[in-house]
Amino acid sequence: MSLFKRTVVAEAASNASVVMSTLLVVWLSIVLVRLIGQAAKGFIGADVVIGLAALTTIAALPTIIALSLFIGMLTTVSRSYRESEMVVWFASGLSLLDWIRPALQLAVPVAVAVGALTLFASPWSHQQIEDYRARFDLRSEISQVTSGDFLELDRGNRVVFIEPSKSDPNELGQVFARVISPGWHAVINAQSARTEQAANGDRFLVLVDGTRYEIRPGEREARVTDFDAFAIRIETPNLDETLAQARARALDNRKARPTSMLIDDDVPNSDGQLMWRLAIPLATINLALLAIPLGAVNPRVGRTFDLLVAGLVALLYMNLINASHGWINNEVLPFGLGVWLVHGAFLALTVVLFWSRLRMRRPREPLAQPVAP
């Protein structure tokens, strides 16, 4: 490989890696904030936040990698123009078309990796996310209670507030609960609580030293009961049944469906998802080539406008891919045309931009000199 090609590939790869690292940090920050908020509300377990963040990042990696390569190639070309390095390459007999080969040498392996992610890794990550959520649902209800927070259980029929224990970390502190049962509304106060497991595997929440107040709505009937120990059976779902339901939900979600099943489905929704998985690797190559003419800027003119236009073009490309996905799902666009339509249009745009950058403009005609009398 010549010095020119080595320089282009090395610099573009370096710029793309920096951009990718930045985008990953931003993405992880957003995902972690969202997941920590869900964990604080009791929707997911705090111990699975890191795992879910990693799985969500795997699903987002194809788009991040494609955009990183585009920005890396764009900044490499624009820097060469701004620092007059392109003048040296042009004087050495090279043209803008000579950037195509090193761009492809970098983009093709990256597109293969992106294809592996979209076709195999991304569906697997969505399946694992469903499994994580199913395993959290399998936990007993009391394990979802966070000390110091109100938590609704059983679709709001039970509301529990538990204080942390000041003496024994293995026990719960004071308990306040509201229980709605057929015909009765109850409020329970207890000084402490603990969980116990019977010999047959049933689990119980045992409230210690408390009072139960019950009223019948609409009637003048009430009951007050003091107790030393009061056990509430905690329903524990069946492990195999719940996991089977989670896997079935995952297969119903087209994002989590394996690629081989999408091919055999012959359903518009499956065709749309298959188109998206094939579109991102193709977009990776197209964007790398499109970055070359878009990065060819005039060094005497500010670069902000050109970079803004390049970003809008890439954003339009990704939005049209998502639009094609929806059109195929709604049977507005056939699968065969939907796979190639957007990529063909942007490949044609790339050719037009190359022609615009390479064509020789005619010199201006000199102004006519006035004839002396």
The residue out of 203, 235, 267 marking a domain boundary is: 235
Supply the pLDDT for residue 281.
96
- 146: tokens are 């966070």
In a shared domain, residues 280 and 197: no
In a shared domain, residues 128 and 169: no
| Domain count for the chain | 2
365 located within any domain: no
Sorted by sequence, the CB contacts under 8 Å of residue 367 that are 6+ apart come out as none
The residue out of 173, 202, 235 marking a domain boundary is: 235
Q: What single letter denotes the amino acid at residue 168? A: D
DSSP secondary structure letters along 137-151:
HHS-GGGGPPTTSEE
| CA dist., res. 198 & res. 141, Å (int) | 17
371 located within any domain: no
Supply the pLDDT for residue 205.
75
Q: Are 91 and 54 in contact (CB under 8 A)?
A: no
In a shared domain, residues 132 and 37: yes
124 located within any domain: yes
Q: Which residues is 176 bridged to in the sheet?
A: 161, 189
Tokens 């020119």 correspond to 4
In a shared domain, residues 94 and 225: no
Element (H, E) at 352: helix 335-358
In a shared domain, residues 8 and 128: yes
pTM of the entire structure? 0.75
Q: Is 180 exposed, middle or buried (0-12, 13-18, 19+ CB in 10 A)?
A: middle
Supply the pLDDT for residue 140.
47
In a shared domain, residues 248 and 231: no
In a shared domain, residues 194 and 58: no
Supply the pLDDT for residue 159.
80
- 78: tokens are 């624009």
369 located within any domain: no
Extract the runs of DSSP E, i.e. beta strands, from 102-260.
150-153, 158-164, 172-181, 184-197, 203-215, 222-234
Complete edge-to-edge strand list for the sheet that includes strand 172-181:
150-153, 158-164, 172-181, 184-197, 203-215, 222-234
CA geometry: angle 238, 240, 246, nearest 5 deg: 100
Q: Which residues is 354 bridged to in the sheet?
A: none
In a shared domain, residues 249 and 127: yes
Rounded to whole angstroms, what are the CA distances from 77 to 9, 70, 89?
11, 11, 12
Full residue range of the structural domain in which residue 124 is found:
3-137+243-358
DSSP 220: S
Please give the backbone phi and psi of residue 146, each rounded to the nearest 5 degrees, phi first: -105, 125
73 located within any domain: yes
Q: Are 313 and 290 in contact (CB under 8 A)?
A: yes
In a shared domain, residues 124 and 146: no
In a shared domain, residues 213 and 252: no
Rounded mean pLDDT for each run of 10 residues along the chain, 373 residues in total:
84 95 95 89 78 93 95 92 85 89 95 95 88 66 57 70 70 80 87 79 80 87 88 63 62 80 82 93 96 82 72 92 92 90 95 86 57 54
In a shared domain, residues 24 and 121: yes
In a shared domain, residues 197 and 63: no
| CA dist., res. 302 & res. 296, Å (int) | 12
3-state helix, strand, coil in the chain (%, to 5): 60, 15, 20
372 located within any domain: no
Q: Are 80 and 89 in contact (CB under 8 A)?
A: yes
